[in-house]
């Protein structure tokens, strides 16, 4: 049987009644768009984070886009982020007309090297956009200091970090605003697309709400452009409400999978994820590293085990971003690690049996290299 790098079918089997009930609840509610489920989910997601506001939107990319716009970021502004991220982080910056500016990552945890941020600031820098990649939070302390000194906004990309903490503080609660994705594979995943903006700032929340609804403050009257139709779907919102109650369980499940990998592979020459001191990792993906990555992936295909690479091409090397003018070699750690990283199957309902097959196969492949 094929072991996929991510799968939700076992989870669906276990939660089917609740999911079907969520769908039925919305279908019978009499209000299919921006109804009680979106309102309820927004209140509960904000409460989970202990912040004032959450605004449900249609996906994570648009959560970033709308949040940037709500923060006043637009054409001519520069936004500092990383190139080792899901491309949508950067697609969203570009889509609001701003210019992405990259800093390199740290070798030990693949996260933004915050020491480099000061050196790329210009008088056009408007926003810092750290990505809590793979499920581990960036240390925001240095960014908060820089933001205060240079009057910058901070937007956290939390698409991979639902429930992650640093020094006890939940990802998404430090910056001016945060953007979440509920794409099915995420730690909190919908049965389709979804996203949210989280903020403690009333003005940013109000603006985000208008921007997702044609720019209207009340029906039929546009007060703000450029605007969008970026509403969170009512069915997805109801499913997310049910699943939010189990978020901490999903995280515990992912940690158990990570623990089993560490026990099964800790003595090999594979570099396993390093949890930076102070961090509580939620293992959105389980990223390992080896200089002979491509051979390992090729050989594991023979065992019917699927692996993934997050991400094979740093964003600055992709054709669509050639216009930014980053030459090969400009982000050396990002570029080198992109050739070595790959991800093992990771999701909370991955069975111990399947996981042991992965561990055995990886051990055999490594031994035969
Ligand atoms: C998934 C993801 C996004 C985009 O979310 P979508 O819901 O797919 O639009 C943005 N940033 C990061 C880091 C992601 O992992």
Distance of CA 305 to the CA centre of its chain: 24
Q: What is the pLDDT of residues 228-243, one digit of tens each?
A: 999 999 999 999 999 9
170 and 294 share a domain?
Answer: no
Residue nearest to atom 14 of ligand 1 (CA): 159
Please tell me the predicted confidence (pLDDT) of residue 33: 97
304 and 239 share a domain?
Answer: no
What percent of the chain clears pLDDT 90, i.e. is strictly above it? Answer: 98
For residue 278, give the CATH number of its domain: 3.90.1150.10
Please tell me the predicted confidence (pLDDT) of residue 367: 96
Mean pLDDT of the 201-219 span = 96
Q: What is the pLDDT of residues 10-30, one digit of tens each?
A: 999 999 999 999 999 999 999
128 and 271 share a domain?
Answer: no
Known catalytic residue at 149: no
Distance of CA 55 to the CA centre of its chain: 17
22 and 162 share a domain?
Answer: yes
What lines the ligand 1 site, CB under 6 Å?
A: 59-61, 85-86, 88-89, 131, 157, 159-160, 181, 183, 193, 195
40 backbone dihedrals φ, ψ, rounded to 5°: -65, -45
Pair 96, 61: CB distance under 8 Å: no
pLDDT score of 304 more than 90: yes
Residues 6+ apart with CB under 8 A from 305: 2, 3, 345, 357, 358, 361
Which of these three, 228, 244, 260, is where a domain ends?
244
DSSP-assigned letter for residue 326: P
Q: Report the DSSP beta bridge partners of residue 169.
A: 166
Distance from Cα 63 to the centre of ligand 1, integer Å: 9
| Residue whose CB lies within 8 A of the most ligand 1 atoms, among 66, 134, 160, for a mutation test | 160
Please tell me the predicted confidence (pLDDT) of residue 219: 87
346 and 322 share a domain?
Answer: yes
Q: To the nearest 5 percent, what fractions of the chain are helix, strand and coil? A: 45, 20, 40
Domain span including residue 275: 247-368
211 and 191 share a domain?
Answer: yes
Distances (CA, A) of 75 to 79, 83, 139, 153: 11, 20, 28, 16
Which of these three, 244, 277, 308, is where a domain ends?
244
Calculate helix-pair angle for 60-70, 87-95, nearest 10 degrees: 40
Please tell me the predicted confidence (pLDDT) of residue 1: 82
Q: What is the pLDDT of residues 46-97, one digit of tens each?
A: 999 999 999 999 999 999 999 999 999 999 999 999 999 999 999 999 999 9
Distance from Cα 61 to the centre of ligand 1, integer Å: 6
201 and 275 share a domain?
Answer: no
Measured between alpha carbons, how far is 251 from 281 in angstroms, rounded to an integer?
A: 9
Please tell me the predicted confidence (pLDDT) of residue 45: 98
Which of these three, 244, 275, 300, is where a domain ends?
244
305 and 358 share a domain?
Answer: yes
pTM above 0.95, yes or no: yes
Distance from Cα 287 to the centre of ligand 1, integer Å: 17
Per-residue pLDDT band at 218 (split at 50, 70, 90): confident
Q: Report the DSSP beta bridge partners of residue 16.
A: none
348 and 271 share a domain?
Answer: yes
149 and 136 share a domain?
Answer: yes
Question: How many structural domains compose the chain?
Answer: 2
Measured between alpha carbons, how far is 102 from 65 in angstroms, rounded to an integer?
A: 18
Q: What is the pLDDT of residues 97-122, one digit of tens each?
A: 999 999 999 999 999 999 999 999 99
């Amino acid at each position: 049987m094929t072991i996929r790098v991510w799968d939700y079918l076992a989870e669906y089997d276990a939660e089917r009644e609740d999911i079907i009930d969520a769908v039925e609840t919305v279908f019978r509610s009499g209000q299919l768009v921006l109804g009680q489920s979106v309102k309820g989910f927004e209140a509960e997601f904000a409460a989970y984070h202990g912040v004032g506001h959450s605004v449900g939107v249609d996906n994570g990319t648009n959560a970033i886009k709308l949040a940037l716009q709500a923060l006043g970021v637009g054409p001519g502004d520069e936004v500092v982020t990383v190139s080792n991220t899901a491309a949508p982080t950067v697609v969203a910056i570009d889509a609001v007309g701003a210019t992405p500016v990259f800093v390199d990552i740290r070798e030990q945890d693949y996260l933004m090297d915050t020491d480099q941020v000061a050196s790329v600031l210009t008088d056009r820098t408007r926003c810092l956009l750290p990505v809590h990649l793979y499920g581990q939070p960036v240390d925001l302390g240095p960014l908060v200091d820089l933001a205060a000194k240079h009057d910058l906004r901070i937007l956290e990309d939390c698409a991979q970090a639902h429930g992650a903490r640093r020094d006890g503080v939940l990802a998404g609660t430090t910056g001016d605003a945060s953007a979440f994705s509920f794409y099915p594979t995420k730690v909190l995943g919908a049965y389709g697309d979804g996203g949210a903006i989280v903020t403690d700032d009333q003005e940013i929340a109000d603006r985000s709400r208008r921007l997702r609804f044609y720019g209207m403050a009340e029906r039929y009257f546009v007060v703000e452009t450029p605007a969008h139709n970026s509403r969170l779907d009512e069915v997805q919102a109801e499913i997310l409400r049910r699943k939010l109650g189990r978020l901490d369980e999903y995280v515990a499940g992912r940690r158990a999978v990570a623990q089993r990998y560490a026990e099964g592979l800790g003595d090999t020459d594979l570099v396993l994820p390093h949890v930076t001191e102070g961090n509580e990792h939620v293992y959105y993906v389980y990223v390992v590293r080896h200089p002979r990555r491509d051979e390992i992936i090729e050989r594991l295909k023979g065992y019917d085990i699927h692996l993934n690479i997050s991400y094979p091409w740093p964003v600055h090397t992709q054709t669509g971003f050639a216009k930014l003018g980053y030459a090969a070699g400009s982000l050396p750690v990002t570029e080198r690690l992109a050739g070595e990283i790959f991800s093992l199957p990771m999701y909370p309902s991955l069975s111990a049996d399947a996981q042991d097959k992965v561990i055995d196969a990886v051990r055999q492949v490594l031994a035969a290299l």
